[in-house]
Structure 1
Amino acid sequence: MRKLDYNQTIIDIVEWIREYVESANVNGIVVGISGGIDSATTTSLCVKALGKESIIGLGLPCSSVPQDLIDGQIFAENLGIRFIIIDLTNTYNEFLKSASASINSNQLAMANIKSRLRMITNYFIGQSLGKFLVAGTSNRSELAIGYFTKFGDGGVDFEAIGSLYKCEVREIAKLLNIPDVIIKKTPSAGLWEGQTDEDEIGIKYDILDEILYRIDNSLSMVDLNTDIIKLVKDMIEKARHKNSLPPVFTINS
């Protein structure tokens, strides 16, 4: 893995956020705070960039683990930002009730509704309270393999930590004084009970990060497991549509 100057990286990201928000001529940033390390790190960077008065944190439980909301709320309160809780559970259940009358679905399709409901809510709050950008909270590891919901948590205005591998986010979080209870929490998208990132992906983040780093930099992987390398490359290929704008048919005149 690369050796970053994490203190300088924080300075660079903070300046990048500040410049982007200023260029967009908006009032601030909305961040969905899940109680996990990625959203906490993103929120802290946004506060450093703009100040706590310009950041709105959202707690959006949707048949979620109660402790995650508690952790997110305590974190937001300690940062001193405004924190709004909107429980989407009833909305989610009503949608499923209506949709299930016409189609049989599956666990992943239903779980992705949660992420898309949160995206809708992020933008609703941002537009209702003024001109606010929606901050994404995905890291490089997730973006590379498509471990996000298209038009869900992938529906954002910018990705402040999108160039940081998961292991690097942990180091940045420590320097930002993110609470240990959040840093050490098992990574989970919270899409269903007992779900964890690494179980769903099928690879530990530390291994995934190393493979992605070598792929990104065209480095040798002769010492790594070939089956796992193939799995990662397959995920990257399948995720290409998630990381691109919709293709547009061009008429040849």
Structure 2
Amino acid sequence: MAGAPPEFPPTNYALAERIITRFIRDEVRKTGLERVVVGLSGGVDSSLSAALAARALGPANVLGVMMPYKTSSPDSLADARTVARAIGIRTATIDITPQIDAYFERFPGASSLRRGNKMARERMTILYDLSAEQGALVLGTSNKTELLLGYGTLYGDMASALNPIGDLYKTQVWGLAAFLDLPSEVISKAPSADLWSGQTDEDELGFGYHQVDA
């Protein structure tokens, strides 16, 4: 499990993988559907959700959607593409810069928080529209640590039809991603919602995930 940060809580990752993939398969098929769409940011959370869905439903039934903004890190987009190739899923790339900038022309002094929340909600509307076009469910990417802290955007990145990693703490997300042999650069990099240049989760929160998960 090279590339994984140390000090995970004791977890049977093989069992976790079996339980979560069965959950995805059962929840999708009980709706009469076969596919999911997932926002693919290049971070470990969305990468793990996509990888688990590919194992549960088959890679052809997973669409990873990359939705960069002009300030998004090029490395994030590159990492998302690396993950998509590694797990064999279909992809789409939709630049959200035009609609975000058009809206904020009316509010040039808007804070980074407002802009970040608007971006998260714009991505949500794209995913739900594509889910209708694809005959698919929207797959969530929020881990348990984020949910307990309320660290996310309501009706944005926290909105989904099913959330396969919602019972995994962030440190367990890293562990399961390493167990599934996802690209090490995705596992080892600093967590970031990539909502503005240089933003990281731990700078915003004021503490690290290993601290809060302990």
TM-score band, normalised by shorter chain: over 0.9
Percent identity of equivalent pairs: 36
Q: Pick from 112, 115, 118 the counterpart of residue 123 of structure 2.
A: 118
Query: 1:170-204 CA distances to partner (integer Å, 9 max, x unpaired)?
Result: 11001111101100011001111111000101111
Bigger radius of gyration: 1
Structure of greater relative contact order (alpha carbons < 8 Å, 6+ residues apart): 2
Cα RMSD between the aligned structures? 1.3
- The residue correspondences of 1:83-162 to structure 2 (distance < 5 A) are 83-98=91-106, 100=107, 105-129=110-134, 131-162=135-166
Q: Is the 8 A contact 1:28 1:50 kept in 2?
A: yes
Shift of 1:105: 3.2
Q: Which of residues 177, 184, 187 in structure 2 aligns to 1:183?
A: 187
User: What is the distance in 2 between the residues matched to 1:49 and 1:75?
Assistant: 17
Alpha-carbon contact 1:135-1:159 (below 8 Å) kept: yes
Query: Aligned equivalents of 1:73 and 1:31: distance in 2?
Result: 13
* Secondary structure of the corresponding residue to residue 58 of structure 1: strand
Q: TM-score, normalised by structure 2?
A: 0.93
In the TM superposition, structure 1's runs of 4+ consecutive aligned residues that sit over 2 Å from their partners are none
Kindly indicate whether the alpha-carbon contact (under 8 Å) linking 1:77 and 1:83 is maintained by their aligned counterparts in 2. Answer: no
Which residue number in structure 2 is paired with residue 44 of structure 1? Answer: 51
Alpha-carbon distance between aligned partners in 2 of 1:186 and 1:3, rounded to the nearest angstrom: 22
* 3-state SS, counterpart of residue 24 of structure 1: coil
Deviation digits for residues 17-74 of structure 1, max 9, x if unmatched?
A: 1110111111300011100100111100000100011110101001211110111012
Once the two structures are superposed, residues 139-186 of structure 1 have per-residue CA deviations (whole angstroms, 9 ceiling, x without a partner) of 000000111100000111111011111111111001111101100011
SS at match of 1:30: strand
Q: Deviations over 1:90-118 (max 9, x none)?
A: 111111113x17xx532211211110010
